[in-house]
Amino acid sequence: MGGFTRNTGHLADREFDVVIVGGGIFGACAVWDAASRGLSAALIEKNDFAHATSSNSFRMVHGGIRYLQHANFRRVRKSMNERRSFMRIAPHLVYPLPIVVPTYGHGMKGKAILRAGFCLYDFVAFDRNRGIRDRERRIPGGRFISREETLKLFPGLIREGLTGGAIFHDGQIHNPSRLVLSFLRSAVDAGAVAANYMEAVDFIRRPGGIAGVTARDLLTGEEVRIRCKTVLNASGPWAEMMLKGAMGLRLRPGSTYSRDLCFIVPRRFGNYAVAVQGRTKDPDAILSRKKRHLFIVPWRNYTLIGVWHCVHDGRTPDFSVSQEEVRDCIDEINEVYPGIELTPGDVSMWNAGIVLTGDNDPGAKDISYGKQSRLVDHANEHGIEGLVTLIGARFTTAKRDASEAVSLIFNKLGRRAPASAIDETPIYGGRIDRFEEFITHESRRYSHIFGEDVMRSLLHNYGSEYTELIRYVEENPGTAETIGDSGVIKAEVLHAVREEMAQKLGDVVFRRTDLAAGGYPGDDELRYCAEMMAAEKGWDDARIREEITEVKGLLQRVSVSGGNQISGLSASGAGPATSKAL
């Protein structure tokens, strides 16, 4: 079977053109783009791939309609192009999501302004479906529905002054972690080297510049010297801390960050998302509906609610979400969408991550989101050759921003950069012409083995490469069984360990499979998964208990209503509040 395995010796046995530090979506896109354009590339990540903000995203790929109110047509085009590209190269993981915006009265909240906005967007994004052969993956134009149709979809809306609804479509991500893994797998297949749990602790210096990275293997404690011609620091909210700690460097001005928060509700309210106006406003908007929108979004069998933002100092990526904050957020959503009648008991968990944002004062309520990804050439900034930093701002633009960073790397190497194919080339699992036809055809092939829900899950998560899982089943039919009621089959755990570099129980539970996609999977499910990994990795009973305790602690920390279901832990035993979870 193919796959990518962890071999740290491959990091030390040659000099790379570029070493990328950071295994989130920006680093994963960068290493794929670099390898596909012919550079020898390596990526290291101090935790697991996609362990923080990338897997905590709101699972949206935005097409830029929000930037119309900023009159930023360049950014509209950039976001639209990126959404279109995701639909083309990862049709199993990114698909259209219909969103209803309720209209009230006249003026900025009425139909006339939104109709003008939709017409303008459709004009600016006239080629939004170019190259998308699958009609199910195409983004339709905006349209309007009546008051009655709007209330039929969302009977809990505020009715006073409601005139109807406006519908537009954006992109939704089925599984952010697996999207990151798909980019990484594509990169490794193209010749790159990747390793998780490898922490960059220092830079290797040369006169006037950087000659590599010293990394510590967090699984063995060993240090590895990775020689390279250039380093791309793509470690997200850790980027500035790494520069300061290893080199004593500061970015001028320093970056500002936001902690973005959403809730997961373990039931689905319908097939359409709804955007309702919250309490805060957008200070950067030229034309605004006065308040920012909160979204209630169907996702798989769950509902996502968010996003709430607060200024984060960026000095450490650690954070927590207090029960008071949870209550305030629930109060706000009930205020602007009273029919939802949300309680803490309805929410299974929260997701949150740290993202680059605009310039804001500490404690600001109305946050500026004007900041775009930050690309720094340290030869210009600090007189240090061979070092580039990319701090990403939005999941949507990760490919384009990473590609710009790789083009800069070519420049640093004194080589002409070939054209990037990252926007056109299907990533691992993405070689599918028409996804629903693909599901129908492949489900018939294996209907004697898998139920419809399990098969659809496999095809979404693994796409055209799902047959790698089938091979396990052919060798051992027992691996087709699900782990409890999770819908995750045993073959997925084996595949995660053998072919997807899963080192810890949390890697499998949170990022390789759907075991904890919407809440606590259950004691028996965790135990079974841990024992399967133990058989593969040689863990003893003490290690099994340690892994289970760590996962329970992370789940306890992000739990809103289900914490009392997690046996063997008290609230105080949940461990430190860090952004590792989910």
Q: Name the residue among 429, 415, 8 with its Cα closest to residue 189.
A: 429
The rounded distance, in Å, linking the Cα atoms of 209 and 226 is 15
The rounded distance, in Å, linking the Cα atoms of 276 and 99 is 11
pTM: 0.94
The pLDDT value recorded for residue 578 is: 32
In the CATH scheme, what architecture does the domain 93-173+256-357 have?
2-Layer Sandwich (3.30)
- Bridge partners (DSSP) listed for residue 169: 98
The pLDDT value recorded for residue 573 is: 35
**CB neighbour class for 467 (10 Å; exposed up to 12, middle 13-18, buried from 19):** middle
The pLDDT value recorded for residue 466 is: 97
Alpha-carbon torsion angle 24, 27, 29, 32, nearest 10:
-120
Q: Name the residue among 432, 11, 478, 343 with its Cα closest to residue 199.
A: 11
Q: In order along the chain (582 residues), what is the average pLDDT of each group of 10 residues? A: 80 96 98 98 98 94 89 92 97 98 83 90 95 95 96 96 96 98 98 98 96 98 98 94 91 88 94 91 57 93 93 71 92 95 94 81 56 92 97 94 98 97 96 96 95 96 97 97 95 98 98 96 97 98 98 94 58 32 24
The pLDDT value recorded for residue 314 is: 59
The rounded distance, in Å, linking the Cα atoms of 284 and 72 is 11
The pLDDT value recorded for residue 429 is: 98
**What average pLDDT is seen over the chain?**
91
The pLDDT value recorded for residue 370 is: 57
Residues forming CATH 1.10.8.870 domain(s) in the chain: 435-573
The rounded distance, in Å, linking the Cα atoms of 199 and 213 is 10
Q: Name the residue among 18, 97, 117, 11 with its Cα closest to residue 406.
A: 18
Task: Report the topology of domain 9-53+177-254+372-413.
Answer: FAD/NAD(P)-binding domain (3.50.50)
The pLDDT value recorded for residue 571 is: 36
Q: Is the separation of the CB atoms in 137 and 92 below 8 Å?
A: no
Residues forming CATH 3.50.50.60 domain(s) in the chain: 9-53+177-254+372-413
99-132 residue pLDDT tens: 999 999 886 677 888 999 999 999 999 999 999 9
* Strand, helix or coil for residue 495: helix
The pLDDT value recorded for residue 494 is: 98
The rounded distance, in Å, linking the Cα atoms of 500 and 486 is 20
Residues forming CATH 3.30.9.10 domain(s) in the chain: 93-173+256-357
Q: Domain 435-573 in CATH: superfamily?
A: Alpha-glycerophosphate oxidase, cap domain (1.10.8.870)
| Rg, C-alpha atoms of the chain | 23
Contacts of 389 (CB under 8 A, 6+ apart): 232, 233, 234, 239, 243, 251, 374, 375, 376, 378
The pLDDT value recorded for residue 579 is: 30
**CB neighbour class for 2 (10 Å; exposed up to 12, middle 13-18, buried from 19):** exposed
